[in-house]
Amino acid sequence: MYLQWCLEGLAGAAAARGDYDRAVELDGARDALRAQIGVLLPPVYRAGYARTLAAAREGLTPEAFDAARARSARQAPQQIVAAAMSAMGPTGAVSPPAE
């Protein structure tokens, strides 16, 4: 149940370091997971969600944004968890984006 908030936090961290593609993928994964398990976005979290997506939209072309969202929208919950974990290093810190 808390995984969607973890994904949102990772998306925010990715956006903050300029890895907008990863941020959008994680936000899309969060939305896909939320839809699959039937959990709605609480109103209190909408502002943070909107900030992350606004930053990502500014950093990506519309095509790249849509492609990143589409990649994660078709994932099963297990794939979503694996993708989120791949963004983390061995210490649990978010890895820097690939250059």
47-81 pLDDT, tens digit per residue, is 777 888 898 899 999 999 999 888 887 777 778 77
Q: pLDDT at position 60, please?
A: 93
Give the residue extent of every domain in the chain.
3-86
Q: Which two tokens stand for residue 71?
A: 């990649």
Residue environment code for 36-59, b if the CB has 16+ CB neighbours within 10 A, otherwise e: eeeeeeeeeeeeebeebbebbeeb
Average pLDDT score over residue span 6-19: 86
Higher pLDDT, 97 or 61: 61
How deeply is 78 buried, as exposed, middle or buried, from its count of CB atoms within 10 A (0-12, 13-18, 19+)?
Answer: exposed
